[in-house]
Amino acid sequence: MIVHFIASTSKITDDIGIFRRIASYVQEYGHSLAYDWLHGANNPQDALSLQKAHEAAISKCDILIADVSRNGFELGYQVSLAVSQKKSILLLYGPNLADTAFLNGFGSSYIRREQYTPDSLRAVVKSFLDENDIPAKDMRFNFFIDRQIYQYLRSTSLHTGKTKAEILRELVLREIDNK
């Protein structure tokens, strides 16, 4: 699963240790980071290119983890962007953050809020990852098609010897490769 981790960089020198722990837990449990911005966190980057990198990572990721112990406009924007893309989101906040408008301002079924301590952080992250992990096996779903699509699939299936499902998978994979 691809995970994007975000946090405020307003006091990065104070918080980098906890941020790196969160990122390491993601990787320890077999997942990958969409964008590992922490390695260059102490080096100032162009704000626009950093914003674009985070936006691309949010589009690419399966889930988002945000440490909102220190909030900020950019962090709120990124969480909102993830909500608009229907990503599952974990809002983490440390023991010193009780109740803020930032935590209460997001009303979405995609958001889970969890307070953590240094001792509970690993378990909180693991629980969220486990809850959202989709096994790497084939999944099944149903959808309705009109007569034109059915005739195309039937004709192509007869012509190629492939099942309708194989034809659809190939079309979707081709579309994913084009993006």
The pLDDT value recorded for residue 158 is 92
What pLDDT tens digit does each residue of the chain (179 aa) get?
999 999 988 888 888 999 999 999 999 999 999 999 987 655 666 678 888 999 999 999 999 999 999 878 889 899 999 999 999 999 999 887 655 555 565 667 889 999 999 999 999 999 999 999 877 556 677 889 999 999 999 999 999 999 999 999 999 999 988 87
Q: Of 115, 26, 14, give the one whose Cα is nearest residue 62.
A: 26
Amino acid at 33: L
Per CATH, is 2-132 categorized as 3.60.150.10?
no
Structure tokens at 128: 């969220």
Instruction: Using CB atoms within 10 Å of the CB of residue 61, give its burial: 0 to 12 exposed, 13 to 18 middle, 19+ buried.
Output: buried
Instruction: Using CB atoms within 10 Å of the CB of residue 26, give its burial: 0 to 12 exposed, 13 to 18 middle, 19+ buried.
Output: buried
The pLDDT value recorded for residue 137 is 58
The pLDDT value recorded for residue 143 is 86
The pLDDT value recorded for residue 95 is 81
Ranges of each domain in the chain: 2-132, 147-178
Contact 20/38 with Cβ under 8 angstroms? yes
